[in-house]
Chains A and B, each alone.
Chain A
Amino acid sequence: MKVSVVKNVLDANDRIAMENRALFDKNKIYVINLMSSPGAGKTTLVERTIEALKDKYAIAVIEGDIQDTCDADRVAKLGIPVVQINTGGACHIDGNMVREALPAFNLEKLDLLLVENVGNLVCPAEFKIGENTKAMILSTPEGADKPAKYPRMFQESTVMIINKADLLPYVDFDMERARRDARATNRGINIFEVSCKTSSGLSDWFRWLEDQIESFKKLNP
């Protein structure tokens, strides 16, 4: 007997992500799912973003790592509520892990939740968590071939932050190619060239993020 199904295999995860989303909408929390390879600068971008926006918005962070709490410790130093998810081997954060982390926060008081995913350009792209925006970081030492090699990550992301721009004189990074290949997977991708070390370009990212948060608040009065 044939049974027709036609269903996304990750349907159960998608449903949990939608429930998370409903909870975020109710509490007016803008959520960023931040993804990249290991070492591209996710935690440093989280730190810079907190420093720039913490006077204006109540921010919380979820840190995803296979093990250890060093990223969460860095964020906690900035006086921000943070939950570390240790995935215990899983290469990505899924909707359920985020759901289980949420009771640790006072959701009513939050404006912005930054979720730092496990460093990986493959699996995190597949698992929705209830975010408003998927943002990915590509750092210049990784090379400009990443959009062509991992198109799904770039197709899924609304934002591509090209980090470590200060290293451009020392690494072979073809900026034109990175931008072109990323745009070919995703015409609407917003690209920011930054250096989290020197702070160059970061103000554009902060402004974009503020605009997104403000528009989101208007839609959820």
Chain B
Amino acid sequence: MHELSLIQSLLDIIEDYAQKRHFKKVNTVKLSFGKLSSIEPKCLEFAFEAQSKETKAQGATLEFDILPIVIYCISCEKEMKVDAYTATCPQCKGEDVIMVGGAQELKIIELDVD
């Protein structure tokens, strides 16, 4: 359900930029978020389609840059991308790991507009 709040905030930002930059139509909205940020692209798309009606963003395509889950292993002294979050290092199997990427919040990166 948080997708509705996120999309409303996104549309407010787009409207704000439309006033400042004088564009009439949005073609593409580029977004980024971490894989573990509990954001579901399909839900975002659905909320966007429903809420963007009769705004400058109606009909625009959402593009997602989904940032990977990255853990840092203190024993191996390096960062590793992992498919699913786990508190175990895939290399040394040690448990002294820190999650350093993957939970980044939803950001709007770029708009393609006319």
Chain A residues engaging chain B, CB cutoff 8 angstroms? 1-13, 89-92, 94, 122-123, 125-127, 147-148, 150-152, 155, 180-181, 183-185, 187
Contact = CB atoms under 8 A, between A and B. Distances in A.
Nearest to A121: B38
A155 B100 CA distance: 10
Given A10-B6, A181-B87, 10 more contacts: A1-B23, A1-B113, A3-B110, A6-B108, A7-B13, A8-B105, A9-B10, A13-B9, A94-B5, A187-B98
Nearest to B108: A5
Given A92-B2, A123-B1, A10 B112 contact: no
A90 B6 CA distance: 12
A151 B6 contact: no
Nearest to B4: A90
Nearest to A91: B1
B12 A6 contact: no
7 contacts: A5-B17, A6-B107, A12-B9, A92-B2, A148-B85, A150-B38, A180-B95
Interface of B is mostly: mixed
A7 B20 CA distance: 15
Given A5-B13, A9-B13, A123-B38, A91 B2 contact: yes
Given A3-B21, A180-B95, A9 B103 contact: no
B6 A155 contact: no
A155 B38 contact: no
Interface of B: 1-2, 5-6, 9-10, 12-13, 17, 21, 23, 31, 36-38, 71, 85-87, 95, 97-99, 102-103, 105-114
A89 B2 CA distance: 10
Contacts of A89: 1
Given A5-B13, A152-B36, A184 B97 contact: yes
A9 B110 contact: no
A5 B1 CA distance: 25
Contacts of B5: 10, 90, 92, 94, 123, 127
B107 A9 contact: yes
A148 B97 CA distance: 13
A5 B108 CA distance: 6
A148 B107 CA distance: 23
A126 B13 CA distance: 18
Contacts of B97: 184
Contacts of B36: 151-152
Contact of B99 (A1, A4, A155): A155
Nearest to A6: B109
A127 B99 CA distance: 21
Given A123-B38, A148-B86, A9 B2 contact: no
Contacts of A11: 9, 13
- Name which of B87, B106, B110, B111 has the most chain A CB atoms within 10 A of its CB: B87
Contact of B17 (A3, A92, A123): A3
CB-based closest 8 A-B pairs: A184-B87, A123-B2, A3-B111, A9-B106, A91-B1, A122-B38, A152-B103, A181-B87
A12 B21 CA distance: 19
